[in-house]
Amino acid sequence: MPEGHTIHKIAKDHSKLLVGRPIGVSSPQGRFAESAMRIDGAFLNRIEPRGKHLFYEWDSGEVGHVHLGLFGKFRVQVGPTLNDPIGEVRMRLTTETETAEIVTIDLSGPTICSLDAPDVRISILARLGPDPLRRNSKPDRMIDKIRASDRGIGDLIMDQSVVAGVGNVYRAEALFVLGIHPLKPGREFEVDELEALWETIRTMLRRGVSDGRIVTVSRDEVGIGRGRPIPREEATYAYKRDHCLKCGDEIRRIEIANRICYFCPTHQAR
């Protein structure tokens, strides 16, 4: 499932192509057809990312809501012609650039693709924890929820009502960098420890937006010079590794809330 950095990058990239323009909206697959008709030709005022959610604010006053889930993806095309959709396209957005090129953004396989009244968006946002990628977001709510819980930290930071946007990769990597065992109960944390966790997550997510992919290691640590991409299998400290990048110890795997969590027993002793 895409983590928060992917959602924020999608919002940033798509905003450049769509916001402030009249948008053709259709549903080649048909499942979004009724909603598409209501906003076809409307101007898109804003795309707001929040955690793993995307909200599309239309000038009609309605708000589109997309959650990619495990299988959702966007396909973006910019060119002289409008191409036929590929696969089961739930929602197609089209517009023209200043140079008369056609922009096409196709959405396939999302968990959620809906058009709602503004109060639906408000209720969704109220259920989400703070998003570390939002400019003025503060960790207070996250800290309070964690310190009031007996659940393990590896479970808590994947809970979108605690902190929005963290997925399996950033969970493993942030906890590794800070030497935190994923089963450490929330009640055992001091405020300054959780502030450090927030800053670590935020730094990693920001790098993910900038790089367009998840890379948590430095080039020096993996011996790859500038100008060469860091391979996916070398881009993390613990996630999906057989051995710890730092000490070489065997990476352990435990199941937390039906997801596999990776950690180093040496660097993250309980």
What residues act catalytically? 2-3, 52, 259
Q: Which long-range contacts (CB under 8 A, 24 or more apart) does 35-39 make?
A: 35/64, 35/114, 35/115, 36/91, 38/62, 38/115, 39/64, 39/115
Comparing CA positions, the residue from 172, 169, 248 lying closest to residue 4 is 169
Q: What does the alpha-carbon distance between residue 153 and residue 171 come to, in Å, rounded to a whole number?
A: 9
Check: CB of residue 239 under 8 Å from CB of residue 218.
no
* 3-state SS assignment for residue 225: coil
Comparing CA positions, the residue from 43, 48, 39 lying closest to residue 8 is 48
Q: What does the alpha-carbon distance between residue 266 and residue 250 come to, in Å, rounded to a whole number?
A: 9
Q: What does the alpha-carbon distance between residue 208 and residue 200 come to, in Å, rounded to a whole number?
A: 12
Tallying the residues shown for the chain, one arrives at: 270
| Residues 6 or more apart whose Cβ sits within 8 Å of residue 250 | 242, 243, 244, 265
